[in-house]
């Protein structure tokens, strides 16, 4: 096939026509993407989407304390009580579920161990190895059953029978 071949010229014409047909659409897409990602910030008279509208208020405080931030002995991110091995518990347990699942439950050491066995049997939790002991220690210490419930037991002096 040579450059003067009529079939080659037809192909070149078709490609050029196709390019000219799609160029305006391609330019429109490029302009829309440019406006979306940089246009509002690039054009000087438009307000910036990433600027802080209140420069007196710092968005990121360089004086902020390093993580974790404690509030009344509780890690503010996870809600877990700070104590021995709490970071092991946070790293291991919150890899699969929220820390709320821990903080809303109470159990003895045996109860927590039963929950771990259930997670291993039913939920695919791998063997914890040497981490299991410290995790159970933490959970049974800080999330043990409490003697105080939501309300005191009602003191009933006299029971009566309801009519049937």
**CB 62: neighbour CB atoms within 10 A?**
5
How far apart CA 83 and CA 80 sit, in angstroms, is 9
Q: Domain containing 81: what range?
A: 70-142
CB 13, CB 7: distance < 8 Å: no
Are 98 and 134 contained in the same domain? yes
Burial class (CB in 10 A: 0-12, 13-18, 19+), 144: middle
Q: Which residue, among 138, 22, 43, has the nearest Cα to 89 in the 3D structure?
A: 138
Q: Is 155 part of a structural domain of the chain? A: no
Per-residue pLDDT 10s for the chain (164 aa) are: 555 666 667 877 887 788 778 777 778 877 777 777 665 555 554 444 455 455 555 445 555 555 556 667 888 888 899 888 988 999 999 888 999 999 998 999 999 999 999 999 999 999 999 999 999 999 999 999 877 656 666 777 887 788 87
Number of domains observed in the structure of the chain:
2
Roughly how many angstroms between the first and final C-alpha of the chain, as a whole number?
A: 104
Query: Does residue 164 lie in a domain region?
Result: no
């Amino acid at each position: 096939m040579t450059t003067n071949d009529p079939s080659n010229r037809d192909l070149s014409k078709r490609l050029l026509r196709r390019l000219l047909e799609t160029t305006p659409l391609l330019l429109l897409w490029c302009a829309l993407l440019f406006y979306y990602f940089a246009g509002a910030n690039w054009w000087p008279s438009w307000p910036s989407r990433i600027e802080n509208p209140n420069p007196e208020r710092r968005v990121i405080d360089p004086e902020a304390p390093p993580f974790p931030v404690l509030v009344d002995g509780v890690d503010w991110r996870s809600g877990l009580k700070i104590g021995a091995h709490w970071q092991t518990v946070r790293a291991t347990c919150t890899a699969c579920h929220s820390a709320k699942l821990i903080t809303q439950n109470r159990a003895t050491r045996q109860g927590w161990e039963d929950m771990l066995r259930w997670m291993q049997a039913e939920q695919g939790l791998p063997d914890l190895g040497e981490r299991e002991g410290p995790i159970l220690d933490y959970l049974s210490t800080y999330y043990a059953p409490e003697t105080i419930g939501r309300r005191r037991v009602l003191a009933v002096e006299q029971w009566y029978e309801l009519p049937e």
